[in-house]
């Protein structure tokens, strides 16, 4: 007899309770959690610089995950909790790294850190599946056009500029007003 094992967790139900949002990004510190995929660090650095130049963010801290498809390790979570006002994770441009980036955002929101996870459009279903697995099917993540890896610097910068307004909106106003009290 063959026994099949399901490696996924049991799906629960619930909704995302978002961390309280700041009224402004001015003077804040942003944690940038890159997932080791090619160009993810560069894109997040560009996003961070735009936030500094255009929105008054004081500084950024770039963190490197051990591997793209796993959640940020505890040292990152602890340091973000202690030193950052909000977090941006990404960039998911493959299946496992997309689910990992979405999970980073979910875990940090649960730690009361306003978060934005970024994945590319071809992996929206992967992002939704991860949110559903963690019993927060309404978790809001951000989507940009695929691909991120192997594109020229000018295209990467254009993608960064295009998504920054969505990042700012998500970090300042929790979706559906479900902010934690």
The answer on pLDDT for 81 being more than 70 is yes
Q: pLDDT of 33-49, one tens digit each?
A: 999 999 999 999 999 99
Q: Which residue has the tokens 């978002």?
A: 18
Integer Cα distance of 157 and 124 in angstroms:
22
Quickly list DSSP for the chain.
-------SPPP------BPPPPS--TT-EEEEEE-SSTTHHHHHHHHHHHHHHHH---EEEEEE-SSTTSPPPHHHHHHHHHH-SEEEEEEE-SHHHHHHHHHHHHHHHHTT--EEEEEEGGGHHHHHHHHHHTT-TT---EEEPSP-TT--HHHHHHHHHHHHHHHHHHHHS-GGG-B--
pTM of the model: 0.90
Tokens of 75: 């040292």
The pLDDT assigned to 2 comes to: 84
Region of poorest pLDDT, from 11-15, 52-56, 71-75, 85-89: 11-15
Q: What percent of the chain has pLDDT over 90?
A: 77
The pLDDT assigned to 75 comes to: 96
Domain 29-177 fold is: Rossmann fold (3.40.50)
The answer on pLDDT for 97 being more than 80 is yes
Tokens of 125: 């279903």
Q: pLDDT of 120-161, one tens digit each?
A: 999 999 999 999 999 999 999 999 999 999 999 999 999 999
Mean pLDDT, residues 88-114: 92
């Amino acid at each position: 007899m063959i026994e099949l094992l399901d490696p996924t967790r049991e799906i629960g139900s619930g909704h995302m309770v978002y961390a309280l949002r700041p009224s402004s990004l001015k003077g804040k510190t942003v944690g940038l959690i890159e997932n080791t995929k090619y160009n993810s660090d560069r894109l997040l650095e560009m996003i961070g610089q735009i936030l500094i130049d255009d929105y008054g963010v004081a500084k950024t801290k770039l963190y490197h995950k051990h591997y793209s498809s796993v959640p940020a390790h505890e040292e990152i979570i602890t340091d973000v909790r202690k030193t950052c006002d909000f977090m941006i994770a990404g960039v998911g441009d493959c299946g496992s790294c997309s689910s990992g980036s979405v999970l980073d955002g979910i875990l940090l929101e649960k730690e009361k850190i306003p978060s934005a996870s970024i994945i590319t459009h071809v992996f929206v279903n992967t992002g939704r599946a991860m949110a559903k697995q963690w019993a927060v099917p309404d978790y809001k993540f951000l989507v940009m056009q695929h691909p991120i890896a192997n594109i020229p610097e000018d295209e990467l910068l254009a993608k960064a500029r295009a998504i920054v307004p969505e990042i700012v909106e998500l970090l300042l106003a929790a979706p559906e007003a479900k902010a934690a009290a």
